[in-house]
Structure 1
Amino acid sequence: MPSASPWRYVAATRPAFLGVTLAACLVGLGAAHGSGVALDPFTAVLSVLLALFAHAGGNVINDFHDRDADPLNRKRLFPYTGGSRFIQNGVLNARQIAALGYGLLCVSMIGGLWLTWASGPGLLVIGAAGLLLAWAYSAPPLYLVGRGLGELCIVAAWLLVVAGTDYVQRGAFSALPFTAGLSYALLVANLLYINQFPDHQGDAAAGKRTLVVRLGPQTAKWGYLLIALVAYGWLVGMSGTDVLPQKSGAAAITLVLSFSAARELLEHAGTPAELGPAIRRTIAAALLHGLILAGALAFA
């Protein structure tokens, strides 16, 4: 195969989905700034870039380890589900995809070591846990997404993004980014969850035991609404009791998008080809929630 254009490597990371990590970083920066911490522009930008590299690496590794399962998925909703198909379509070969994914994680790890030296040893724990989750989500032997643990993995990973970005600025652990980031991380997990509906037949054929495969679409469809209710209930409860700034409750306005997507999922769980609008609303709900939450925390 001839050498691939650099833009193919960029596209292989699925950059359109990296916005959820950017928003998580902004929540972390907002938590630190709202606590009276003077933000350092260089380490803030570097933190965001390294988090994006880690997310991009995780996306690519997922494509590599799903290279045998993705061809079985004939009902994917492009571009949201079913992977990039770069290996199957001959855009990049499996070796190139693996080198890209693990290379991005290595860059993130090396940069994270420098940030650890600059900010404090606690970041080493956050970074190591984040890299472990990025790998274990898709790769054997853990293969968390194939064991029905993908949603928990996503919640933990995006909480670590929020907490890590805050830690770099604060130089210490704080409960605030974990408390503030939970509702956002749950909404990101709902994006993974709804994406499993178009993919569930292919996943089942490949032995990928996601929650939707385990429960079946008609039972699993209620899980989306449950996750959304927990996310918004947590946010309203924490802001209503002043654990979070009261302005943070403004992010609950995105429940309009989440509940609208939930209604469509309840109606179309058995016909996943109709779920495109619900997936787009799920993406919009997560991104808007993160941006409003970040602003509320920063200027509380």
Structure 2
Amino acid sequence: MEVQKDSIKAWLLAARPKTLTGAAVPVMIGLSLAWSDAQQYDGSVFSWTAAVLCLLFAFIMQIDANFINDYVDYAKGTDDRETRLGPERACAQGWVSISRMRHAIATTTIIGCLVGLPLVWFGGLEMILVGLLCVVFCFLYTTHLSYLGFGDVLVLVFFGLVPVSITYYIQLHTFTLEVIVASVACGLVIDALLLVNNFRDRDTDRQAGKNTLVVRIGAKAALRTYMGVGVVACLLGMVYTYTDHRLAYDLSFVYLFLHYLAYLKMKEIWQGRELNAVLGLTARNIFIYGLLVSLGILLG
């Protein structure tokens, strides 16, 4: 791919826009639950300003995490231009200079903090702590924790529990069992993306000393885990049957069917760059899950 160094195209590729669906889905589900529950107050407690700020903060922090991942993996030698199996990365390909990437990381971090700061008005001073944790673990994930095999736990927390629950809390200043269970289910669905990514890179990660969950448990167990997170996520959706959101549970099985097809393709390909096709299918399925569950909640 021909990309001019430090061009707009280079920065768009570095931002990895396809990953923004993973940032959007938890906020979508949290907002859908909040909007639905707010109707008992005639919807008067729901703030669209806070909703937009939550979505923007999630997008910016995802881009920030992508920049950090691009920079750190290149600096550590994990991303090698010749041996990399995944999608091309900006620093490794020379599309973005190292110095400008450092500046971009600082800029997106500051912008993220500025966008998130007004949420204190809606959610209280505790939002400062939540924001700081998001920023800190955004850095720790790539620099340390992903190399120790904690990436999947962080996805469960920061793509499930935190964004779904906190988005809901900002609107209604409370939590419910439905929200907590829905946030865990969302985190599991999004973790499928990390699993297929690490499944593809298991050999190069092992050589680089990156002990991901896939490296630790092996390929066969990782493949079963990939299928398992989708199944468990849908089963957790049974919580919707105890509220007025039964449709969300029913629609989630459309996602599970698509997830199963991706699993079969992953099992067939097994290794190599061809697994990037499964990565694309998984990202699509995550977005479909978010749309279907949100739709089920709103219609219910």
- TM-score (norm: length of structure 2): 0.87
After TM superposition, list the pairs within 5 Å mapping 1:146-225 onto structure 2.
146-159=147-160, 160-225=162-227
Partner of 2:97: 93
User: Residue 212 and residue 128 in structure 1: after superposition, are their counterparts in 2 closer, same or farther (change >3 A)?
Assistant: same
**1:163 offset after TM fit, Å?**
2.0
Partner of 2:33: 31
Partner of 1:81: none
Partner of 1:59: 66
User: Residue 89 and residue 40 in structure 1: after superposition, are their counterparts in 2 closer, same or farther (change >3 A)?
Assistant: same
8 Å Cα contact 2:148/2:210 also seen in 1: yes
Secondary structure, in 3 states, of the residue corresponding to 1:92?
coil
User: Residue 244 and residue 124 in structure 1: after superposition, are their counterparts in 2 closer, same or farther (change >3 A)?
Assistant: farther
- The code of the aligned residue for 1:14 comes to R
Q: Does residue 78 of structure 2 align to residue 69 of structure 1?
A: yes
1:206-238 per-position Cα deviation (integer Å, ceiling 9, x unaligned): 111112222232332222122222212211x32
**1:6 offset after TM fit, Å?**
4.2
**1:162 offset after TM fit, Å?**
1.7
Partner of 1:50: 57
User: Residue 114 and residue 9 in structure 1: after superposition, are their counterparts in 2 closer, same or farther (change >3 A)?
Assistant: same
Distance in 2, Cα, partners of 1:206 & 1:22: 31
User: Residue 195 and residue 42 in structure 1: after superposition, are their counterparts in 2 closer, same or farther (change >3 A)?
Assistant: same
8 Å Cα contact 2:5/2:97 also seen in 1: no
- The code of the aligned residue for 1:254 comes to Y
Secondary structure, in 3 states, of the residue corresponding to 2:210?
coil
1:8-59 per-position Cα deviation (integer Å, ceiling 9, x unaligned): 3333111121112112211111011010244322221122111100111011
8 Å Cα contact 2:53/2:116 also seen in 1: no
Partner of 1:284: 284
User: Residue 225 and residue 44 in structure 1: after superposition, are their counterparts in 2 closer, same or farther (change >3 A)?
Assistant: same
**1:3 offset after TM fit, Å?**
8.4
Distance in 2, Cα, partners of 1:175 & 1:103: 37
Distance in 2, Cα, partners of 1:72 & 1:206: 14
- The code of the aligned residue for 1:131 comes to V
Secondary structure, in 3 states, of the residue corresponding to 2:93?
coil
Structure 2 unpaired stretches of 5+: none
Q: Does residue 122 of structure 2 align to residue 122 of structure 1?
A: no
- The code of the aligned residue for 1:279 comes to L
8 Å Cα contact 2:27/2:55 also seen in 1: yes
Count of residues in correspondence between the two structures: 288
Counterpart of 2:48 (choices 41, 45, 50) is 41
Partner of 1:257: 258
- Which protein has the bigger helix share? 2
- The code of the aligned residue for 2:214 comes to V
Identity %: 23
8 Å Cα contact 2:70/2:89 also seen in 1: yes
8 Å Cα contact 1:73/1:201 also seen in 2: no
Secondary structure, in 3 states, of the residue corresponding to 2:182?
helix
- The code of the aligned residue for 2:183 comes to G
- The code of the aligned residue for 1:66 comes to D
1:163-191 per-position Cα deviation (integer Å, ceiling 9, x unaligned): 22222222444444322222222111011
User: Residue 202 and residue 276 in structure 1: after superposition, are their counterparts in 2 closer, same or farther (change >3 A)?
Assistant: same
Distance in 1, Cα, partners of 2:58 & 2:103: 18
1:228-250 per-position Cα deviation (integer Å, ceiling 9, x unaligned): 22212211x3234x057212212
Distance in 2, Cα, partners of 1:258 & 1:64: 31
Structure 1 unpaired stretches of 5+: 79-83
1:238-273 per-position Cα deviation (integer Å, ceiling 9, x unaligned): 234x0572122122221011111122223332x333
- The code of the aligned residue for 1:40 comes to S
- The code of the aligned residue for 2:73 comes to D
**1:192 offset after TM fit, Å?**
0.6
Partner of 1:226: 228
Moved more, 150-159 or 114-123: 114-123
8 Å Cα contact 1:56/1:104 also seen in 2: yes
- The code of the aligned residue for 1:204 comes to R
- The code of the aligned residue for 1:22 comes to A
- TM-score (norm: length of structure 1): 0.87
